[in-house]
Structures are given as structure tokens and as C-alpha cells.
Structure 1
């Protein structure tokens, strides 16, 4: 017993000494606890506001420990730009996050690294261009789904409704046309199961259970719980995508690819003799899922915040409608090109994204080699958390960062001005792949809704819950509104 006790004490002291040596090689930060690290300080969630508060004590760059894993937090516009742009070569990797590694095995685009990431991302960018992303012909797809959304809202007859489900369906059908080559009926049961599974996965990783999974994967893999449902949901989604791929193989034409799956099948055929290729069916499934989840979740959540902000700021809603009526008239739908004439509306759309701060920390980065950053040591493998929320709320660059203020994007003459510190889509080599599509969707859906409806709280409701559900992104709590048809 004495020998075992002595061994335990020795191992504990040895572990603490190793821990202290590791801490000394990293940027300073709050003292971590054994096993838990600094997770307890964050409530086991990546709370960007708490991370900003810690920067007042430890500076723009500091280290937090996620259990036994060090994470360098980067705050403020200049530090984030320095990390993601000027140190892009060292900080463009993705870390080995146990939950995502067990779920996706580093496949696809979003969480891949090295040769595989470069090949898959290059393919994705080229395919989006070939499919006409950014051209007027493609915008027709967005306009069509926006009109469908108007019809769904109109059918409520101005009664209280939760708008998210309808928006989720219509937004997801845009990206469905891109990856699958077709849309789904709004009442399609399998499609809604796909949406539910995608939403579950997007939400889980940012929760307390997600943090616990990453801290103790060896334990979480072996016990039941909601995390096991996430894996089941992903298996269902993978089977859905496999069925779509099988259908494409039956009807596929090499000379006339119609969507992402067709282009991927064509690419696989062309590289069959390339031993270094990463184009295979496993990567294809994950690329399709990456497209679908990224193209559905973020835009839908941003539109939900947009309607909440209109409920909270009816004067802004009125002014947007006045501009739409005076510039476009009553019946002409807004096109993305119209943003150049709709200065105030364009400013409102940008302010919605800034204030919503949908993905406060981007997706985690990792350091690919030992380096120094702003004079501080950063060992290879260190997780990098670029706190985009600290940029979008940076008081040095925004007049009223904690308030919804479209004036942030207007000059003294009321003309729209772009801002370098508008990093809602990230920055650097890992900038959001679907940024162009998201910009078109947000502008077209938002203007179409405000041309057709005025949004009000249900009768008797006086309080708007502006708190957020913090998962992998900031989502609003469920809410109801009334879509009041405008007289045309």
C-alpha cells in the first residue's frame, strides 16, 4: 500500500511539473486546474463575451486550457488579422477535436488538413464557379425559394407563427439544388429528417456535453447519452447522401454535370490513376454534408436574428420598407445587384450579421509548427481560437458595438461603406467557402420578406428574448411573430 501511495504521489508531482513546463512555453493566461483546465471558468462553453473579458486582464493573446489541451485565444481586430492573414501558413490547420474526429475522421473540407484540404477546397471553389454561383442565372434559384417562403408566411393569415422551420426549409432547398441538383417538397418527411439531423450536429459540439466529450473522449465513447444520438443522426444523413449518389450514378452524364455530386463523380473518374488523390466516396459524402450544413444552418439562423431585430427595432423596419418602395417600387423584387442602390437596406443586412455574431470563434485553428506570434511562443499543435466576436464588437472600430446600429455601415451622406473589420465570414485561407452564396441569400430573402410583410409581436406579447443558444453558432431561442401583409 505504501509503495502504491508513493507511486501515486510521484506520478502526480511528475504530471504537475510537466504541466508547469508546458505552461511556461505558452502565452500567459489564467492558472488551470488539473484535468479541468480552465473549462470551469467558461461554464464549459465557449462564451465569447467571457473570452473578451479575460483579454482585459491577460491581453489580446492568452492561453486557456481545455482539460489537458492548450488553446491560444486571439482577441481584437489587429491580433485576429495578424493570426489568420499574416500567419496564415502556420495557423491554417485544424486541430484534432475528438468529437469531430470520431464523427468525420478528418474528411471533407471544413475540418480537413494538408493535401486533402487543399484538393477538396480547390474542387469546391471551381465547382461553385462552374455551377454559376454569383451569376444572375443562379440568383433565380434564390428568388424562387424566397417567393415560396412568402407563400408560406401568407398562408398563416397574420396569425402567430414560428418562422424558423419555413425559413430553414426554403434556405436548405437552395443548397439542395447546388449539391443534389433538385429541391424537396416543403412537406417531404425525409428532407425534414435531414434538416433535423444537420441541426442536431451543428448545435451539439458547442454544448457542455460537447466540451466533456472533447475532454474525456475515452469515457464518452463508452457511455450512453445525447451524444450517441448525434452519431446516429450522422449515420442517417450519410445514408441519405449515399442514396442520392446512387441515383446520380444511374442518371449521370460525364458531359453534362448538374450539381456537386455530378462534378465529384466526374473528378473521381479523371483521377483513377493518381495514387495521391483524395477524391473518393468517403470524402464525397463529407463534402456534400459540409456544403449542406454550412449552407443551411448559418443563413437560416441569421435570418431568424434579422426578424428578431426588426421586431425590436420597428423604426429600422419602417425605414427599410420606405427605401425598398421608393427605389424599387411596389412589385419589383430586389436583386443582389440592387444593393448598390439600396444603401440603408444593405447597411441593415451587414449590421444584422455583425450584431448577431453568429460564429463567434470561427472554426478552431491549429499551429502547424513551432513559431512566435506577436513576440509570444506558440508550440506546434497549439489550438488557436480567433475570437471573431471580439472583432465584430471591438470598441476601437465600432461606434456603438453593443447596440444594433445600421449607421456602422453608412457614411455621413447615407451611402453604404464596407469595413475591413467586418469578419462575419472569417478571413484568411479558411474564409467561409460559401460567402458569396450566403450574401446573395441573405439580401434576397430579407428584402423579399420586408417587401411583402411588416413583422409584429403577437397580441399581448411585450417581451422579446434576445438571449442566444450557444452551440457551434449563436442561435436565437424559438419565438413567434405575426407576418402582416403589406398593402401593395
Structure 2
């Protein structure tokens, strides 16, 4: 009704156009049964579809409610767009593992089309996506991702983070402080060098990433994605594009520098590797050049955003949860102390001897459901679980529904490290643990994220005990309503780091 009121407040020509859209939408959604069997779902209204039934701030929770009524596979109408939603461990895993090629594409999301124009690693499709992703994974591995050689770099960054925390001398400081270290690891891989935490470029990038992520979670931005032809009514997507362009300016400077200092061996960064691949392709002149400047910038931009936000936000949640559950924090510290020698840092290999600590880290990722879902798209006409899903249909595999699936977790809505422990207290990996998604579109940086989370989390608890500020009890810390951005961030809160030395 709010949308109709908005339309009627504009001149007659606009009202006539909206009336025409209304009629077309009505007949398109109210026609007889299709020759193919679509998944069930709530009946859509003209123009708005099922938007009136969604909580725009927590769409993932709305999807869980629909699943109770319509089953694990159902249809929703986001405005004029029809989407198939997959919920629960069985359905999501079936789609992403057994139908990985059928559900491998990304739908054309308007805001990302405006930002990337079909380029980059995450929202591209076809040959461009396959080639860019394969190259990116190989390049990041060459730079140490998933290898022990990167462990020393993470431990060194941990030292810088600890020094910045010690400077607060036990006084309260914001959780956002913990974003610096994991962000710097990503930047070092992308650009070749870490930043000083007070570097103007580093602070500018942190601020821009924060603003972009907040805007991506804006309800008005969702409306732009549903009705891009009404973009002139909205401002959030315009502000977002401006912020992204400011990030691009910094990236272009690094690409320009890399081209000037191009070397044929000893590539120090992902940017260097991209520039080298571009020149190599130009020399060979074989087929279409996929590593053009637009794809270079877009690929780096993807990793600047996604490669920093996820791990940095998870680390904030980790500290907040340790404040909320001090007995769990104490048990982690006792276990690390019994395995790791005094004056030594926990190594990544030590996780095998630290089952409780490992379980806590996994439970943090499960409990926070950091990235509720990233849409897929059918690459071909697909028959799935008795339904027909045409090529080009948006498909939403709900990771929240998997991580909170009551058939897979004893207490899905409680923070319980026991989900990953057997009766003897040994760590148990669960198939339903899929915060990084599955299949060919799974997170490329999974191995890096796992190493960072373990080393940063264990190292911080070796050195500090995290407590709420004076006057706030641990039980008063609210974990129920996170701040919705592109990921589910915790609300801005303060912590105190008490030295254990």
C-alpha cells in the first residue's frame, strides 16, 4: 500500500504507467496453472508480489517461516521477480552438491550490475567467471593461502593487533577495532604490503568498506533491486555507487603502479598477478581478452569487500560471545594453556589438540549465520525434487536455514559448542556446517578464513580476557538483533580487554 500511495502522488502520466504495470502484473500472476509444476508458495499481489510478507531487515528469518508452511522448496515473488527458495540442510546440500552445474550461475542483481557490469569474481557468469575464479584461486594459493607460509604473517599481524588493544589499558573500546588485523591480511595479499593502522589510505578503505556494507543492507537498496526502473526515487544506490567509485580510485592507483613496476617473476600480490596475466594474454592474442582493465578492477574490488568483511565481522562476534559467556571463554583459555607453552603462540596445527577451542570457533560461525544467503541462478532448465525450474530463475539457498536446522542441531538457537563435540569431548566436523556455502560457487577464501579465525581467536584469548564495561553484566549483552548490513554484524558495542600477563 505504501508503494501505491507513492505512485498516486505523482503526475497523471506516471499514474497511468503504474496502472498499466498493475494490470500486466495482475494477469501474469493470476493466470491459469502452468504446464510445469512450480514449487508452492504464497499467492503474490500485483506489483509487490510477496514483499508485504517479508521483514526487509531480516529476510532470512522470514524465509524460515515460509518453509514451515510450504516445505523446503517454495516460490516467492520479489516484486515482479519470481524466485525459488531452498531451505534446510537436505534441500540445500542436494542442490549445491548434486546439482552444482545446474545452480552455478548468478542472477542479474541490479545494484551489482551497476557496480561490476558483469565483471569480477562473484557476480560474473559463464567463461568470464570460470576463468577469473580459476585464476584467482591459483594466484591466492601461490601467495600462501591455505599454506603454512602464511601462518607467520598472520601471527605477525596478531602482534600489531595486540599492541593496539594494549594501548586502551583496560578501558572500553569498540568491537570495530578487531577489523584491522584480518583486513590487513587480505590487503597484503591484494596489494603486496600491509598497512600501518594509522595509514590514511588504510583508514579511508576501512571507512569506505563499512559504508558500502551498511548501504548494501539498506531496505531502500532492496527496493531498488526489485524495481530498478524506479531508481530515480531512491538515493541509497546512488550513494553506494559513489562510495564504490572512491574505492576504485585507490585500486586503480595500485594497478597503475603494478603496471609500471611489472615483473615477470616473484609476483608479490594478486594485483601483480592480474597485471602479469593481462600482459601475457595481450602477447599471446589468443581469443577474447578476459583480463581487461574492467575485469581487473572488478576482481580486486570483489576481494577488497568480501575478503575483509566476513572474517573481520566474525572476529567481532567471537569477542562479543566470549563476553556473553565468560565460562566458555575461561574453558578455552584453560585448554590453550594446557597445550601451548608459556611465551608461545598457538599454531594452526595446534587446533587438532584443542578440540574445545576448535568447537567454539565453529559454533561461533554457526550461531551468527553471518551471510544468510547469496542468490544463485539456474544455468539450464532444471528438474529438482519434483519441480521444474526454468533456466534463468533466481534460486535462494538459505544458509541460515541450514545452520539453524533443528534436524541437524540439538539446540539450534542457542550458543552451544557441544554441537561440535562427541561424548568424549573430541571435535566432530558436521556436514551441516556450511557457512562458506558448497559447490563451485563456495567461498574461495575458506582456507584463509579458517586459519585467520583460529590464530587470531586463540592468540587474543592467550593474551586477554574480554569483559563488558563496568556496570554491564554479561547476561545483559543482547545477541538477538544484529545490525543488518550485507552480512549480519553485531550492534556497535564496547569491550574491555583485561591483560592476562
Structures share fold, TM-score greater than 0.5:
yes
Partner SS for 2:253: helix
Alignment partner, residue 172 of structure 1: 183
Alignment partner, residue 475 of structure 1: 489
Alignment partner, residue 247 of structure 1: 257
Alignment partner, residue 422 of structure 1: 433
Question: Distance in 2 between the 1:10 and 1:415 partners?
Answer: 63
8 Å Cα contact 2:218-2:236 kept in structure 1: no
The C-alpha deviation readout for 1:75-118, integer Å capped at 9, x for no partner, is: 01110011111111111100001111111111100101000000
Partner SS for 1:481: strand
Alignment partner, residue 358 of structure 1: 370
1:368 aligns with 2:373: no
Give the CA RMSD over aligned residues.
1.9
Alignment partner, residue 442 of structure 1: 453
Question: Distance in 1 between the 2:255 and 2:24 partners?
Answer: 53
The C-alpha deviation readout for 1:51-75, integer Å capped at 9, x for no partner, is: 1111110000101111000111100
Alignment partner, residue 478 of structure 2: 465
Question: Distance in 2 between the 1:7 and 1:359 partners?
Answer: 37
- Paired residues for 1:113-262 under 5 Å: 113-164=125-176, 166-220=177-231, 222-223=232-233, 225-262=235-272
Alignment match of 2:466 (pick from 438, 442, 455)? 455
8 Å Cα contact 2:25-2:46 kept in structure 1: no
Question: Distance in 2 between the 1:432 and 1:267 partners?
Answer: 23
Partner SS for 1:442: helix
Alignment partner, residue 100 of structure 1: 112
Q: TM-score, normalised by structure 1?
A: 0.95
8 Å Cα contact 2:217-2:486 kept in structure 1: yes
Question: Distance in 2 between the 1:478 and 1:336 partners?
Answer: 30
Question: Distance in 2 between the 1:233 and 1:35 partners?
Answer: 31
Q: TM-score, normalised by structure 2?
A: 0.92
Question: Distance in 2 between the 1:204 and 1:22 partners?
Answer: 39
**Number of residue pairs aligned between Structure 1 and Structure 2:** 480
8 Å Cα contact 2:262-2:276 kept in structure 1: no
Alignment match of 1:307 (pick from 319, 344, 352)? 319
**CA displacement at 1:10 relative to structure 2:** 8.6
**CA displacement at 1:22 relative to structure 2:** 8.7
Alignment partner, residue 268 of structure 1: 278
- Paired residues for 1:59-78 under 5 Å: 59-78=71-90
| Gapped regions of structure 2 (runs ≥ 5) | 1-14
**CA displacement at 1:387 relative to structure 2:** 0.6
**CA displacement at 1:171 relative to structure 2:** 1.4
Question: Distance in 1 between the 2:305 and 2:381 partners?
Answer: 33
Question: Distance in 1 between the 2:79 and 2:309 partners?
Answer: 29
Partner SS for 1:403: coil
Question: Distance in 2 between the 1:134 and 1:183 partners?
Answer: 19
